[in-house]
Amino acid sequence: MKHNQWNKTIIYSIIILLTSIISFNYIIDPYFVFNSSQINGLNTIKRNTVSAKMSKFHTAKRSDAKIMLFGTSRTEHINPLYLKKYTDNKIYNMALPGSGINSQAENIKYFVEKKGVTTVFLGVDFFSFNPFHTDDKTESQNIRYKDDYTKDYMDSLLSIRTFRKSIKTLKDNLKSKKHNIDYYTGWRNYNDDYSHIEKEGNIFIEKNVIKQIKLYSSKRYNYNYPPFKEPSSLEEPFRYLKQIQDICEKNNVKIYMFISPLYSRITDLIYSRGYDKSYHRWKKELSKYENIYDFSGYNSITTDISNYIDGSHYQTKLAKFMFAKIFDDKSVDVPSDFGIILSSKNIDKVLLEQSKRAKINNESRKN
């Protein structure tokens, strides 16, 4: 009898423990998968997610947004409020850090066909076309798109890792820490970086630029993947871009595409690392669409370090100029040299001017 009683005690204790862990994880909801009640000081701040890809997918599904932004972390830093001026529809920023054009195509397909998105804004980045992304087939096999997918829910409840993250999330809320991402809009706000910029100014940005150059020179998904130097390596990524166009056309979805305004030192890097042939092939292909706004290259915005957080990420305030250019908003004083529509008529001149400027910059840096 004592043995049976002991077994029951152990079983009941385990059940109570598991129930407590599951309940705590559900209430705190550190990954924002369940959309449990959000209470200030308890669970509204989510700084301990597994990945933006996971959390933003679920929050975007619940948003019922009809307008979505897609792309990499450059686009992710666009505050949807800048776009709100031009539409009454709900907006969600579904851009994901480091994403390749293949995963962007899958996201667009899902939200257009399954969630009724009517307008797509796609921030186009050169490194998203790096064949490293499409060579990595696991990146383009997102089973979250399947209706019977439950792994995220199970991981969010029955996991010691999640329990630890729930505790960290609770602590963050008790300390009133700031968001990294506003999951209600999908906007990555870089609050921590802006705090440093406010204190240190361009000195902090310059430090970030140096780190970014080292990072981009070492990571295979950026500019340390030799196959990416061959223009022919872009053929498969181009097919994904064509898929995006076809999906939007088939579903009567309006699509706006733009090239992100990288800081000029990163453009220099593309040339100095030997990716210029692929870069030119990429821009020439984009010019065929005759409707893509190019905010990159060398202009009064991209050569001013104060417009950036680091070499790759522009400050969100630039979105005001970008949307004003796209929507021909004369009420905004946009620098005249910021943003052109690439076309078959101007692409050769654009690339020639960029090549000359990159060569001058890189040679002066050697001396």
Task: Report the number of distinct structural domains present in the chain.
Answer: 1
| Residue 15 belongs to some domain of the structure | no
| Residue 268 belongs to some domain of the structure | yes
| Residue 167 belongs to some domain of the structure | no
Is residue 257 classed exposed, middle or buried when 0-12, 13-18 and 19+ CB atoms within 10 A define those classes? Answer: buried
| Residue 20 belongs to some domain of the structure | no
Spatial contact of 98 and 73, defined as CB atoms under 8 Å apart: yes
Q: Which of 9-18, 180-189, 317-326 has the lowest mean pLDDT?
A: 9-18
pLDDT digits (tens, 9 = 90+) for 288-342: 999 999 999 999 999 999 999 998 899 999 999 999 999 999 999 999 999 999 9
Spatial contact of 261 and 318, defined as CB atoms under 8 Å apart: yes
| Residue 170 belongs to some domain of the structure | no
299 vs 199: CA distance, rounded Å? 27
Domain that includes residue 60, residue range: 56-141+177-366
pLDDT digits (tens, 9 = 90+) for 248-262: 999 999 999 999 999
Quote the percentage of the chain above a pLDDT of 70. 96
| Residue 9 belongs to some domain of the structure | no
| Residue 159 belongs to some domain of the structure | no
Q: What is the domain-level CATH number for residue 314?
A: 3.40.50.1110
| Residue 169 belongs to some domain of the structure | no
76 vs 195: CA distance, rounded Å? 19
